[in-house]
């Protein structure tokens, strides 16, 4: 018989002859018999050992009887499932009721019938073995269930990881497509816009060489055209550098009042505002999490454009205000739209997307200075802020640029400023 199949039985009786008698009756079953000659002795044993399959206990014992001992035994959680069979010489209903009340599972009456004792002990031993087997099977099922749950969780985690990788791959493909489009536009600029001033420089240089003996005024005119072509090329190259530089973040995100950001941008444009006699009105703007340096660049470019594309003989009027949208699930925060509205020359609304394309211009640089870089930089900055920038306009009826920005804390409105 293996160790795990060994059955331990505690026999409690104050008489040594009774202990020996029970031990001899059960000895052929290969049980491990542990004997105690009092209730206190039984409790002392049970303090150290609790892996008993059955307890056989005499009811009538000095100092502490069997019922009192059983009550104390069942106070311990580790012993509450050990069955107790009482051995007694009395079969009164009151004694039997008391025994069952304290937790007894059965009674054996004196004088003890050896065969009956073996049968009853055998039944409870078999019940113990089956119960133990069920407990083992239950634990195996629990372990198998836990293992299955871990596999399910690992599978779900793997699926989430695959979905996230697919999402990143799609984003990378979109980004790569955008980069390729920008490279295509750069190739066009390199082959067209950048070569235009180079052609002029070459043409007028050749003309100067051919007219070495010509009038000084004519030579000066050619030199001025070369200088202007050089300035134009310098502007284009500077624009390319600025656009490239804004692919890198310009600082850390922090909570700032957009009113202050706009005021700083206006301060930088103070001379141009005075020259054009412009009027700029700022309504209360929200506080949001942004990169201050980059966001200042956005408002600088938009206000500068409003001043640049003004109507002749009409003072520019620029109105900057905000609207709060409902909570957006995509961003996880409140969303704000900042409007920069002007009374300038406007543009056909069908070009509202094209104006954000790098080097895309709706007017010749001979009409209005510029490189077509500013709005594309604004778009790139807003993408870094998980925001957006759009525009609506009509010819001769001004333009409105809309900057969308998410925020992550309670809004604090600034004061109303009029410039």
What CA dihedral angle connects 102, 103, 105 and 110, to 10 degrees? -30
- pLDDT of 418 strictly over 50: no
pLDDT at 414 (0 to 100):
41
C-beta of residue 322 within 8 angstroms of C-beta of residue 286: yes
Among 34, 53, 42, which Cα is nearest to 14's? 42
Mean pLDDT of all residues in 126-137: 84
- pLDDT of 406 strictly over 50: yes
Mean pLDDT of all residues in 39-46: 91
* Residue ranges of domains in the chain: 3-136, 193-245, 249-418
Considering only 39-48, 163-172, 255-264, 359-368, which range has the smallest mean pLDDT? 359-368
Beta bridge partners of 281: 319, 418
Query: Taking the CA of residue 162 as centre, how many other CA atoms within 13 Å lie in the half-sphere pointing to its CB?
Result: 6
pLDDT at 259 (0 to 100):
94
Specify the length of the chain in residues.
419
Higher confidence at residue 224 or residue 239? 224
pTM: 0.46
Cα–Cα distance measured from residue 153 to residue 146, given in angstroms and rounded to the nearest whole number: 10
pLDDT at 402 (0 to 100):
93
Cα–Cα distance measured from residue 377 to residue 297, given in angstroms and rounded to the nearest whole number: 9
pLDDT at 258 (0 to 100):
94
pLDDT at 48 (0 to 100):
87
Cα–Cα distance measured from residue 214 to residue 212, given in angstroms and rounded to the nearest whole number: 6
Among 270, 263, 276, 349, which Cα is nearest to 308's? 276
Confidence tier at 413 by pLDDT (50, 70, 90): very low
Confidence tier at 250 by pLDDT (50, 70, 90): low
Q: How many helices (H) and strands (E) does the chain have?
A: 11, 13
What CA dihedral angle connects 150, 156, 158 and 161, to 10 degrees? -140
Mean pLDDT of all residues in 211-234: 69
Confidence tier at 247 by pLDDT (50, 70, 90): very low
Beta-strand ranges (E) seen in 329-398 are 333-342, 388-393
Share of the chain above pLDDT 90, in %: 19
- pLDDT of 192 strictly over 80: no
Among 380, 374, 372, which Cα is nearest to 291's? 380
Domain 3-136 fold = Rossmann fold (3.40.50)
pLDDT at 346 (0 to 100):
87
**249-418 maps to which CATH number?**
3.30.565.10
3-state secondary structure of 417: strand
Higher confidence at residue 417 or residue 195? 195
Cα–Cα distance measured from residue 382 to residue 356, given in angstroms and rounded to the nearest whole number: 12
Cis-peptide, bond into residue 311, ω within 30° of zero? no
Q: Phi and psi for 348 in degrees, rounded to 5?
A: -70, 130
- pLDDT of 321 strictly over 50: yes
- pLDDT of 182 strictly over 80: no
Mean pLDDT of all residues in 323-349: 80
């Amino acid at each position: 018989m293996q160790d795990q199949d060994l059955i331990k039985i505690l026999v409690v009786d104050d008489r040594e002859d009774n202990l020996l008698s029970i031990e001899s009756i059960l000895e052929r079953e290969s049980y491990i018999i542990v004997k105690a000659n009092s209730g206190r002795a039984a409790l002392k044993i049970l303090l150290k050992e609790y892996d008993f399959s059955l307890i056989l206990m005499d009811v009538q014992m000095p100092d502490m009887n069997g019922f009192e001992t059983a009550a104390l035994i069942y106070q311990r959680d580790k012993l509450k499932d050990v069955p107790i069979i009482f051995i007694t010489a009395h079969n009164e209903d009151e004694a039997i009721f008391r025994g069952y009340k304290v937790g007894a599972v059965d009674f054996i009456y004196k004088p003890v019938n050896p065969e009956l004792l073996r049968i009853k002990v055998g039944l409870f031993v078999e019940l113990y073995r089956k119960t133990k087997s069920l407990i083992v099977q239950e634990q195996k099922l629990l372990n198998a269930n836990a293992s299955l749950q871990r596999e399910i969780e690992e599978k779900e985690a793997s699926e989430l990881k695959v979905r996230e990788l697919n999402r990143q791959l799609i984003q990378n493909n979109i980004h790569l497509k955008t980069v390729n489009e920008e490279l295509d536009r750069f190739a066009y600029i390199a082959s067209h816009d950048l070569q235009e001033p180079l052609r002029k420089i070459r043409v007028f240089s050749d003309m100067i060489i051919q007219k070495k003996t010509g009038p000084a005024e004519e030579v000066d005119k050619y030199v001025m055209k070369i200088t202007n072509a050089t300035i134009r090329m310098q502007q284009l190259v500077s624009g390319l550098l600025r656009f490239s530089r804004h692919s890198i973040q310009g600082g850390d995100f922090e909570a700032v009042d957009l009113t202050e950001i706009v005021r700083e941008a206006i301060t930088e444009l103070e001379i141009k505002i005075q020259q054009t006699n412009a009027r700029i009105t700022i309504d209360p703007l929200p506080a949001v999490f942004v990169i201050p340096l980059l966001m200042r660049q956005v408002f600088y470019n938009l206000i500068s454009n409003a001043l640049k594309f003004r109507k002749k003989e009409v003072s520019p009027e620029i109105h900057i205000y905000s609207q709060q949208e409902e909570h957006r699930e995509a961003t996880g925060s409140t969303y704000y739209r900042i409007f920069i509205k002007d009374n300038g020359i406007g543009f056909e609304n069908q070009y509202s997307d094209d104006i954000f394309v790098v080097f895309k211009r709706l007017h010749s640089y001979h009409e209005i200075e510029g490189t077509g870089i500013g709005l594309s930089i604004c778009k790139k900055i807003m993408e870094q802020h998980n925001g957006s920038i759009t525009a609506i306009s009509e010819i001769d009826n001004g333009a409105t640029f809309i900057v969308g920005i998410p925020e992550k804390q309670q809004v604090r409105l600034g004061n109303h400023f009029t410039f």
